[in-house]
Amino acid sequence: MHLYIPIDSNATKPKSIYTCTYAQAYMNKGLVKLFKALGEETRLKIVECLLHQDHCACEFASVTGRDQTTTSRHLKVLVEAGILESERQGRNIIFKIAGEDMRKLLLGFGIESMECCQDGCYNGTK
């Protein structure tokens, strides 16, 4: 299904047109999911930390001030939005930013610093 909207309404034949296809609508849904996931403070804190280094799911409870179950739900939303990837290492699940393109996108949004991660709370110094 295509929707054509002429840009120049005075022209008998439009010189340029805007095409809205199913693929574009699908892409827009993905963007909505991305921005909804980033629009919550707890999830934003998680993403900020992961921009510095990969972390185990169990490490986020102290950063977010939430219990493990709530933190796991937030991580699931971020994975479903395509922002994070997870990998099992023994009994732990390690989360990381989903690829270099996603990292660049998040940095472009200005998501890059968080006091807790800079203070070393994950490397055992706190």
Residues 54-94: tens digit of each pLDDT: 999 888 888 888 888 999 999 999 999 999 999 999 999 99
Give residue-wise pLDDT tens across range 26-39: 567 778 888 899 99
Domains of the chain in start order, with CATH, are 16-118 (1.10.10.10)
- Spatial separation of the C-alpha atoms in residues 110 and 80, rounded to whole Å: 22
Does 43 score more than 90 pLDDT?
yes
For tokens 């290492």, the residue is 89
pLDDT at 74: 95
- Spatial separation of the C-alpha atoms in residues 17 and 78, rounded to whole Å: 35
